[in-house]
Amino acid sequence: MPLHALAYDPAIAPSDTLLGGLACALDISGALYAPAHDALLVADLHLEKGSSRARRGSMLPPYDTKATLDQLAAVVERYDPGTLVALGDSFHDVGGPERLSDEDRATLGRLQAGRRWIWITGNHDRIVSGCVGGEVVAEWRLGDVVLRHEPTSGSEPEIAGHLHPVGKVAMRGRSVRRRCFITDGRRMVMPAFGAYTGGLNVCDPAFRPLFAEGFEAHLIGTERLYRIGRAQLCRD
């Protein structure tokens, strides 16, 4: 089923939304741009996941870091942000920074040049090595909105990652399952940006305490995002 067959509200651009008063542009790559702060946000890069799995005997192609950084480079070129914030699990494990190839390390350095770079720690990378540059913090703020890795059920506006949300829509006997942003206007969980990241259906009980009063999902299509109401989403 093509995503363009879904209904959406044409009065509101599906790629733009407000979160706790913060204007956000949701990019088709899975990144988020906050123009008022000239800040680009990405979640769950999971760099060096391939090499991490290889150390445990899994035969994954070792090209995930290059693919993820190439995608990130395209988004950085598009927005040229003054600040980039990575919302945790940027590396698949704490040894990831040391396993970067010289080429990937150079790419990361070029992306960091001329801008502020914030690493928020996650559950996979609670310690981020200083060998990759940037600032390492547990949380960050854009105005009144808190940026953190794991979403909470608190009352303050927040943008988080961690859960790798995907939305599934069924129509006329067919279905489509895509990465998505999920939000209720106060809280947003961003999709995983990394090349080797799976996804958790937004209808999973893990999302329920975070969005007790409902939510909408912005599904990532091939050419645009689609704003989908909770009632149109289904379980796997």
Q: Is 102 within 8 Å of 66 (Cβ atoms)?
A: no
- Minimal CA–CA distance to 22: which of 187, 226, 180, 215? 187
Q: What's the pLDDT score for residue 58?
A: 67
Question: CATH 1.10.10: does it fit domain 3-232?
Answer: no
Kindly list the domain boundaries of the chain, sorted by start residue.
Answer: 3-232
Rounded Cα–Cα distance for residues 56 and 94 (Å): 15
Give pLDDT tens digits for 23-44.
Answer: 999 999 999 999 999 999 999 9
Q: Which residues of 209-222 are buried (b: 16+ CB within 10 A; e: fewer)?
A: ebbeeebbbbbbbe
Average pLDDT, the chain: 89
pTM of the predicted protein model: 0.91
